Structures are given as structure tokens and as C-alpha cells.
Structure 1
Amino acid sequence: MLIYICDDSKSDCLRLMHHLSAYENEIGADFSTVAFSSGDEMFSYLKKHREIPDLFFLDIYMEGKDGMEVARELRRQQVTSGIIFTTSSTEHAMDSYEVHALYYLQKPFTHEHFLMAMQRCEALIQTAQKKLSVSVKGKELLIAFSDILYLETGRHTVIFHTRKETFSVPGSLSRFADAFADTKNFLSCGRSYLVNLDFVEGFLNQDLIMSDNSLIPVPIRKQSETARIVEEYKNSLAKPTVTF
């Protein structure tokens, strides 16, 4: 699981990394963490490497772009990753709803409070840790669930649309059904599509709008149910908890 930390306080950044390291050992996860001292530095890195993390920790009070401005810019660029704010004040707590933040963690925080924040990321962490092994042109690839936008049925193939690339795998969509059966954020749209709800932007007429501007047709009989599921999933991510 890839995590970006954006905080202009080196000591605060080191403390957060210590909490993450302890939590990583507690749950047996595999975290990769990259730290930045400013929003500009982070965006420059993102532009160069084009590697979107699963989770951002953003300090609100920084020189240059503050954490809220950084979060708004991420959402404008259709980055749907989880966001946790770390800050010394609750002044912007209500603003965090606007960017669908998972949590608002007030400094200085204890490990107990840190764990409360990470509980909001359980589904995200579980998905990020899951990987699917597929064979592409004779080469075995491990694809992280969190990198998959959607799967599409092709002609005797399944087309994988991911954050970085699109490729085909021989077989049918039902072949992969069991692998995604216990994931809360993957939704079947008829027999032809399996979509990652984290990358659904909304509805346009009878189609789902994906973060890459793709349109996924939803069968008429499933439109009401699909709209309800999408709304409930988005609402479950949109309510941050304030720590006092």
C-alpha cells in the first residue's frame, strides 16, 4: 500500500511515520511511505512518477499551498485516494466534507487516536493489500485491486482498465468473480462490467461515469439499485470524524 505524507514539520512527519510503522507491524501489512515538505513538492513528484498513492496524510497548515488546497486540487484532478488531515486546529473540520476526507486528526495525537483514524481506512487497506495474478502474453503480472478501474468483457477476453494501462487476458468475466466476491468496492454491472466504486464519479443518463471519463452502461433493471449502492458507498466515505 502506497502512502504519501505532506507536512512541512519534519518532527511531525517522523512521528507519523513511526505510528504507521507500528500499525504496519500490528496488522501485518506492507506499507510504502513517501514524505514531502510541501504541496508543490508532492505535485511535482506526482507529475514525474505518475504513481497515485492509496492514502494521503495532509497537514493543513503549510507554507505555500495548505493541506485543504492540496486536497481540493487532488479532487479536481479526479484522484479518488483516501485523505486524512493532520493539523493543530479543528478550524477546517467542516471543510473536510467537501473533499470526502476519511478523518481529521488533531495534533498532537496519541497512537490510540491514530488507530481511530486508520479504522476508517480498513476497507481501503484490505483492497490495497489484495493482488490478482494474471498472465499477459506469457508473463505473470500481479495487479493490485486498488489499481483497477474496471473490468470489461471483450471477445473471448477480459479487458483490464487500470490506473496506468489497459490490457486483455484470455477468458470470461466469471473467471474472476470469486477473486472479487468479498470486496465491498467492486460492483457488477450486468454481465459485461465489474467496476471499482472508488473510481465512479457519478451517473450520466443510464451510464456510470468513471474517473478516466469512461462511460459504463448499466442495465435498465439494475439502474435504481446501482444508483443506491453508489450513493451509499460514497456517503460512507464522506463523513470524517473530528478528534478533540
Structure 2
Amino acid sequence: MKIAVVDDSIEDAQRIVQYLEQFQAEHNQTFQTKVFYASFDFLEEYRGDYDVVFLDIEMPGSNGLEVAHEIRSRDASVGILFVTSMAQYAINGYEVNAIDFMVKPVKYYSFSMKLEKAIRFLKSRNQDILLRNKEEILRLPASDILYIEKERDNLVFHTRQEAFAERGSIKTVKSKLVSLPFAESASGCLINLAYVRKIGKDTVTIEPGIELPLSRRLKRQFSQEYISYMGGGF
């Protein structure tokens, strides 16, 4: 896995590097890590070849949010993890589909939870599912799916751009997605946990502002799966 750390603070950047080394030793992972102390240097070199970017929000010149927008204009799939001293800034990370954020000074437990979440994201990004109907056969990245709903005899796979339908059952598609972050919020509705923004009384709000049903029967299980996916929260 190739990782970039972008932070104008030497102390904060080196803390992330030390945590990455500790995580490697504990989880038998291998990382290629490069540190950038200026956002300009990072953007000048960026070629879309990093898997994860740890990105400071408050930097001189282009701040982290501006850098993230530039990254997204070049690369839709890289995982972005914001690092910030002010958590309220990180809410804007939803605009660039950031995986999560960490508040400085970052603690190792929080770091490891967020990094595990990023690794799960990368696994889903690299897994495709095959959809078939009368007109076409489509290969669709699982990470592009916002939610799946049952409509009569069809399953409808909703992405940001469009929806695709094929005949099938929720039970069958759940077996295809067993290792990916999808959870059932109501009968006939599977949601990609990466896009969940709010769990309400009887609805789940996902990016970009879509409300989906949440049944009383499944609320506790769905909430537990989401908390687990988020690494226990911020």
C-alpha cells in the first residue's frame, strides 16, 4: 500500500509515520510512505498512484480541503483521511468523499481504527460485481454503489450517476457482498456504510442527502454494524 502524509507540521507528520510503522509491525502490513511538508510539493508530484493520503486541513497556501478537491479532480478512488486541530472543518470532507478524519494530537488507537477503515475501503474499491439484464452485462465497482433496493422481481443498484437493475433477491446479493461494508436497513434495502451520514429514528441519510427507510426490527443491528465500520466513532 502506498501512503502519502501531507502536513506542514514536522512533529505531526512524524507522529503519523511512527504510527504507520507500529501498525505495520502489529498487522504484518507493508507500506510505502512519503511525507510532504507543503501541499504544493504534493500536488506537483501527484500522479494518482497513492492508495491513502493523510491530509492536514490547516496548511499555509492551499488548505487541505482545497488540496482534496484537486486530488478528486484527478483521482476518484484514492482514500483521503483528514487530520485536523478543529473537527468542525472536517465536516466539509463529505464534499470530497473523505473516508474519515482524526483530531490532533492523534492517538494511536484512533489512528489504527481509521486506518483499518481505510483498508476496508480499499478492498471494496478493488472489488467489482457483475450485473446482468436483458440488454447488457455490466461490471460495477462495489465502492460506487450507494444503496441497493428491491423492486418487485428486480434489484436496483443506485450509484451517484445512475441506477442499474437486474433480477435477483436481497439474500443473493448479500452473499456477494459479505466481505464489504453493506448493511440492511429495512426489508429490501441494503446500504453502503461508507456513505451513511445520519441514523435517525426511522430513516438513514446517506450522501448526497438521500433518506432511506430504517425498520425498527433492523435498527439496532444496522447501528451496531455502522459503529463497527466507523471504528467505534471519532
- Same fold, TM-score > 0.5, yes or no: yes
Deviation at 1:223, TM superposition (A): 2.0
Deviation at 1:58, TM superposition (A): 6.2
Pairwise CA RMSD of aligned residues? 4.3
- Displacement of 1:141 in angstroms is 1.6
- Amino acid in structure 1 at the alignment position of 2:69: F
| DSSP 3-state at the match of 1:167 | strand
Structure 1 residue 43 corresponds to structure 2 residue 89: no
**Is the counterpart of residue 197 in structure 1 residue 208 in structure 2?**
no
Which stretches in structure 1 are left out of the alignment for 5+ residues?
Answer: 21-30, 61-65, 86-91, 105-115, 240-244
> Does 2:103 align with 1:73?
no
Deviation for aligned residue 1:158: 0.6
Match for 2:80 among 53, 56, 62? Answer: 56
**What do the CA deviations read for 1:71-112 (whole angstroms, capped 9, x no partner)?**
54323x3x4432578xxxxxx614x79xxxx749xxxxxxxx
Specify the alignment match of 1:151 in structure 2. 148
1:191-230 pair list within 5 angstroms: 191-230=187-226
* Seq. identity, %: 16
Rounded to whole Å, the distance in 1 between the matches of 2:117 and 2:208 is: 26
1:101-112 alignment, distance < 5 Å:
103=111
State whether structure 2 residue 223 is matched by structure 1 residue 231.
no
Question: Is the 1:54–1:82 contact (alpha carbons within 8 Å) kept by the matching residues of 2?
Answer: no
How many Å apart are 1:163 and its aligned residue? 2.6
Residue 93 (structure 1) aligned with residue 107 (structure 2): no
Match runs of 1:115-126 below 5 Å = 121-126=118-123
Q: Shift of residue 133 of structure 1?
A: 1.0
Give CA deviations for 1:178-233 in whole Å, capped at 9, x if unaligned. Answer: 211222x1112343111111111122321111112222222222223322332333
1:84 touches 1:103 (CA, 8 Å); kept in 2?
no
SS in 2 for 1:127: helix
- State the TM-score, normalized to the length of structure 2: 0.61
The Cα offsets for residues 13-42 of structure 1, whole Å up to 9 and x where unpaired, read as 759988x5xxxxxxxxxx699xxx945465
Question: How far apart, in 1, do the equivalents of 2:142 and 2:124 lie?
Answer: 6
Secondary structure of residue in 1 paired with 2:179: coil
Aligned length: 191
Which residue does 2:41 correspond to in 1? 10
Match of 1:108 in 2: none
Instruction: Provide the C-alpha distance between the structure 1 equivalents of 2:175 and 2:78, rounded to a whole number of angstroms.
Output: 23
| Alpha-carbon offset, residue 164 of structure 1 | 2.4
Larger RCO (CA within 8 A; separation ≥ 6): 1
The amino acid that maps onto 2:104 is: A
Query: What is the aligned partner in structure 2 of residue 23 from structure 1?
Result: none
Give me the whole-angstrom Cα distance separating, in 1, the residues matched to 2:211 and 2:46.
43
One-letter amino acid of the counterpart of residue 197, structure 2: E
Specify the alignment match of 1:109 in structure 2.
Answer: none
The one-letter amino acid paired with 1:73 is N
Distance 1:145 1:67, change over 3 A: farther
CA distance in 2, matches of 1:16, 1:117: 24
SS of 1:121's equivalent in the other structure is helix
Q: Which residue of 2 aligns with 1:178?
A: 175
Unaligned runs of 5+ in 2: 7-37, 54-60
What letter matches 1:134 in structure 2? Answer: L
- After superposition, the Cα gap between the structure-2 partners of 1:222 and 1:42, relative to the gap in structure 1 and judged at 3 Å, is closer
Task: Give yes or no for contact 2:182–2:193 (8 Å, CA) kept in 1.
Answer: yes
Answering whether residue 193 of structure 2 is matched by residue 162 of structure 1, we say: no
